[in-house]
Amino acid sequence: MKTKKHAFVPALDGRLEDRMVLNGAHHAGGIVVNLPGGDRTYVPPEAILTTKTYNNVLVNINKATQQFGRTRGVQANYDRLNGQLAQQLGRLPYARQDGLVSYIQDSTQFYSPAESRQLYSDIRSTLVSYLSSKVLNGEAAIHKSSGHYFSDADIYGRNAAIFNQRLLG
């Protein structure tokens, strides 16, 4: 018996509507999102990031920086780290085209293996800033996956950095 594939249907939480979460309007595989000021814009499917993917990206970046922290910091270690980072960062909407991947890779040279925790923290902060800009400008959208992830705190809730317009001024 074949199982029916379920179409992408965003779920709305009443508290999130004023934070530009997906509104459920579908168009050619993408979605239409609400922007600050009441405008609406189409976001293509390649610019939709799920919370599960975002969490997975952060987990793998953390693993890569921890692994780097256990090395001697020779060029081969930096090369391996940069390869792992590129693989994960490339999963974010437009990260390669916008230069985010190369920006972060170019920055790793300024961190020693002993600073691997700070490196992870700085990368995560950069990702939050990048995604916040993309989402608020209507260039990308974040879809809440089923399940709860530690990284959801970056996206949803009172102290969220990505959707919290109060923090953005």
Digit-coded pLDDT (tens) for 55-114: 999 999 999 999 999 999 999 999 999 999 999 999 999 999 999 999 999 999 999 999
Q: What is the pLDDT of residue 35?
A: 79
**pLDDT tens column, 9-59:** 444 444 333 334 444 444 457 888 887 778 888 999 999 999 999 999 999
CA-CA distance, 68 to 94, in Å (whole number)? Answer: 26
Strand partners of residue 50: 143
4 — pLDDT class (breaks 50, 70, 90) = low
Mean pLDDT of 143-165: 76
| Secondary structure of residue 165 in the 3-state scheme | helix
* In the chain, domain spans: 14-49+134-152, 51-133
Contacts of 44 (CB under 8 A, 6+ apart): 29, 30
pTM score of the predicted model: 0.77
Separation CA 72–CA 43 (nearest Å): 43
Q: Residue 25 belongs to what H/E stretch? A: strand 25-27
CA distance 11 to 13: 7
